Structure 1
Amino acid sequence: MHTHHGDVIAAAPAGHAPAPAGRCPFRLDPSGTDIQGEAARVRAGGPATRIELPEGVPAWAVADPAVITRLLTSPDVSKDAAQHWPAWIDGEVGPDWSMALWVSIRSMFTAYGPAHTRLRKLVSGAFTAHRTKALAPVVTRIAEELLDEIEALPAGEPVDLRARYAGPLPARVICELFGVPLASRDRLCTLFDALFSTATPAEEVRVHAGELYGILHGLVALKRETPGDDLTSALIAIQRGQLASGEPDPLEDQELLDTLVHFLSAGYETTINLIDHATHALLTHPDQLELIRTGKAEWSDAIEETLRWEPAAANLMLRYAVEDIDLGDVVVPKGDALVMSVAGAGRDEGLHGPDADRFDLTRPTRRDHLAFGHGVHHCLGAPLARMEGVTALSALFARFPGLTLAVPSSSLRPVKSFISNGHQELPVLRHGGHGHA
């Protein structure tokens, strides 16, 4: 791994506007200790701020929602490192990089142009609105089962809501959706937690990734033998149909596996953080919870405002400049890496007003967030995540209307990541801590 190229972004590339004085690159904290502080710093840096990723890899961070929207709809921005990131192509950044998994993956999530169109069409054929809608009763059942388990715990003792509810709910839903056997589910979620942690050492990441692909190889083999009514079987059926009909560019085995990695990880990791942050926001803003209870706001408002205020993924990784990108005050040179600061965009005062830092369910711009991305890579699973969030919140507060935090909010520890944005634990007391579960 060559880390000397961290110096590259400290000097203005030839022929490009120099960065404003005093704007040296700052390294995103792999432990995610100050997500919003870093987001504010990116916002203050103008249309694009120079940053360093782990091990000195240079990039630009963008937090202005209008600039992000423009970039995510521009053909001058790619997610395909193999085509458009010279540092990756030339081996300056290699497979030993701690974030290499998210760069090397070959699926619609990293594809560019016609390749992306082909893969997204295939996958969206399996991930239909009908399938999402059919999951609604499943989500409700899982939520109630988890709440039954919490209710059966000893009264008066703190319950870690992330471990007991926010985590297991999307884990069970996404595993049910993809037909993952019960025996593999807990291990899969543990692996995803480790892979989303930007503080995990590169060697550990490689070991975890190897085990993850081993589990998914087994899942694909199982579904080829005994297909079911699940997304893995649907993707395999699409692949088989293509091969049988001799269609050009059938879904390759690696693309199939990488698609599973991305869907399973995104469906789990982002939804656990959404439920975690939404619950925390409502418990620390009782006036906002009261708006829902009195019919002045809806659970969906809480979900949208949470996605704006504390998005489940703080930063969208990684994109690359296909050509020089002129952003007015600064030019992002062709081949440079880009990070979209969704957390930064969510609190942009130009869009959300001077009180953008405040959690407000009645905010007119609460739906104007970029938590699910934008443009051709907009999240296919957004309707499912929203439905899970609304179901989880409404069931939780109906069952335990007196729910409170068991510790001061300031003592909660963030997940060790600058991508995944959540708490390591969310200890709560049921019924205001009176122990009447």
Structure 2
Amino acid sequence: MAQQGSIVIDPSGRDIHGEAARIRAHGPVTRVELPDGVEAWAVSSTELLKRLLTDPRVSKDPRQHWPVWIDGKISPEWPLFTWVAVQNMFTAYGGEHKRLRTLVAKAFTARRTAALQPRVEEITKDLLDGIEKAGRRSGTVDLREEFCYPLPIRVISELFGLPEEKGAELRAVVDSIFHTSATPEEVTDTYARIYAVLSELVATKRAFPGDDLTTALITARDDEGDTRLSEQELLDTLVLMISAGHETTVNLIDNAIHALLTQPEQLAHVRAGRATWDDVIEETLRVQAPVASLPLRYAVEELDLGELGGPDGMVIGKGEAILAAYAAAGRDPVRHGEDADRFDVTRLDKEHLAFGHGVHFCLGAPLGRLEARIALPALFDRFPDLRLAVPDEELSPVESFISNGHHTLPAHLHPGT
């Protein structure tokens, strides 16, 4: 399926920003090769990507608009299969997307998100207490494992009414969904396990309803007449909201901590009042998009990119796939200048597309920002002498070209440790 001259995407995500720079060097849009030779167009221009994300001639539904999928050429063993196969608002188009998003939005309200603040603060304090104890024992704490990860997963689990004992299993399957160099066996096993976990959750909530999002989504399905969620849509909506609802926030908090520890002058700006924690969050989202590249969209009809402000004479053919290259777009020098790669909390223009754009803008963005806004100042206030425990170059990324974060983030909490 791949064409000669395409940039081959490294499924292990070993050098996301180096790869993003190579994509940008080929122009605002270029052909890339995904795992198993699947071809797509990667869009790295901020402005062109915004136009495509809001263009009604661009779909997210492979069942209608991706001939490669329609013709059965995508195997269930493909590492990105779950990203394409789910039937929810993430892969819906037009009226179907509006129907699904409306139902989900009724459950995932701004009021419900705002009401979580005291609980997020409580979980954050509990985690920091645990980190303090762990630091006394060993001197070093893996902040991703002990802080960045458990905060969002505990919040999302409570939000959806997932029993605490299921947290480890949920984490394992979500990690595997984002593992873009997974073996065929891992891909098919993950697909089965995630539905087993969520089917059990739905059955439990039907028997014992609660004040949680799973119950709210079940109610939406059962009470909305012709606009109800089908059983598959219900399960796939849970897949989307639980997986995307915590992985992105894990990476946001992880990357913000890393940026401030490796560039202490930026933390000094915050402590001196020259920048806010919101500045840290938005600049992190721009420079280190938690989702580096997001599969997939499809051209409903032939797209003349020149008419959209892109390169004259370049066309995306009907049915061809489009990869939203968010990590590349966040550092677009056309939008952010020659220092676009630089993390700078005082930068006036921090525009980014890290949560998407247009009708598919992430419903969970307010929750992710809320968690980061609570977690980051609490961490740095509690441990003012926090520092990395290993040289920066020894840190390794998670094995994914979608998820952009660190495998571990070891740190010393106090001086002399």
Taking structure 2 as the reference length, what is the TM-score of the superposition? Answer: 0.97
Q: Distance in 2 between matches of 1:356 and 1:236?
A: 44
Question: Aligned with 2:275: secondary structure?
Answer: coil
- Match of residue 66 from structure 1: 47
Q: Which residue of 2 aligns with 1:153?
A: 134
Aligned to 2:91: 110
**In structure 2, what residue type is equivalent to 1:202?**
P
Residue 99 of structure 1 is matched in structure 2 by 80
Q: Deviations over 1:235-293 (max 9, x none)?
A: 11111212xxxx22421010000000000001111111111000000001101101111
Which residue is 1:294 aligned to? 272
Whether 2:152 is the aligned partner of 1:170: answer yes
Contact 2:135 2:413 in 1 (8 A): no
Q: CA deviation at 1:154?
A: 4.5
In the alignment, which residue of structure 1 is the partner of 2:236? 258
RMSD over aligned CA atoms reads 1.0
Is residue 76–residue 321 contact of structure 1 (8 Å, CA) maintained in 2?
Answer: yes
- 1:339 equivalent to 2:323? Answer yes
Q: CA contact under 8 A between 2:135 and 2:412: conserved in structure 1? A: no
Q: Which runs of 5+ in 1 are unaligned?
A: 11-23
| Number of the residue aligned with 2:400 | 417
1:221 is aligned with what amino acid? A
SS at match of 1:431: coil
1:81 is aligned with what amino acid?
Answer: P
Say whether the 8 Å CA contact 2:135–2:141 is kept in structure 1: no
**Post-superposition CA distance 1:289-314 (Å, at most 9, x none):** 01111111111110100000011000
Residues in 1 aligned to 2:331 and 2:71: alpha-carbon distance in whole angstroms: 37
Cα contact 1:179–1:230 (8 A) shared by 2: yes
Q: 1:147 to 1:336 in 2, by over 3 A?
A: same
Q: 1:392 aligns with which of 375, 389, 392?
A: 375
Matching of residues 239-388 of structure 1 within 5 Å: 239-242=221-224, 247-328=225-306, 329=311, 330-366=314-350, 368-388=351-371
Indicate the residue corresponding to 1:16 in structure 2: none
How far off its partner does 1:98 sit?
2.0
Percent identical across equivalent pairs?
55
Superposition deviation, residue 94 in structure 1: 2.8
Cα deviation, residue 45, structure 1:
1.4
1:216-240, Cα deviation, whole Å (9 max, x unpaired): 0000001111111110011111112
User: Alpha-carbon deviation of 1:195?
Assistant: 1.3
Q: Secondary structure of the residue that 2:343 maps to in structure 1?
A: coil
Describe the SS at the equivalent of 2:234.
Answer: helix
Give the secondary-structure state (helix, strand or coil) at the position aligned to 2:318. Answer: coil
Whether the 8 Å contact between 1:32 and 1:414 is mirrored in structure 2 is yes
Task: Spell out structure 1 runs of 4+ moving beyond 4 A.
Answer: none
The question of 1:427 aligning with 2:384 is answered: no
Give the partner amino acid of 2:168. Answer: D
> Structure 1 length as normaliser, TM-score?
0.92
Amino acid at match of 2:399: K
* SS of residue paired to 1:112: coil
Q: How does 1:209-220 map to 2 (within 5 A)?
A: 209-220=191-202
2:125 paired with 1:139: no
> 3-state DSSP class of the match of 2:91?
coil
Long gaps (5+) in structure 2? none
8 Å contact from structure 2 (residues 292, 326) kept in 1: yes
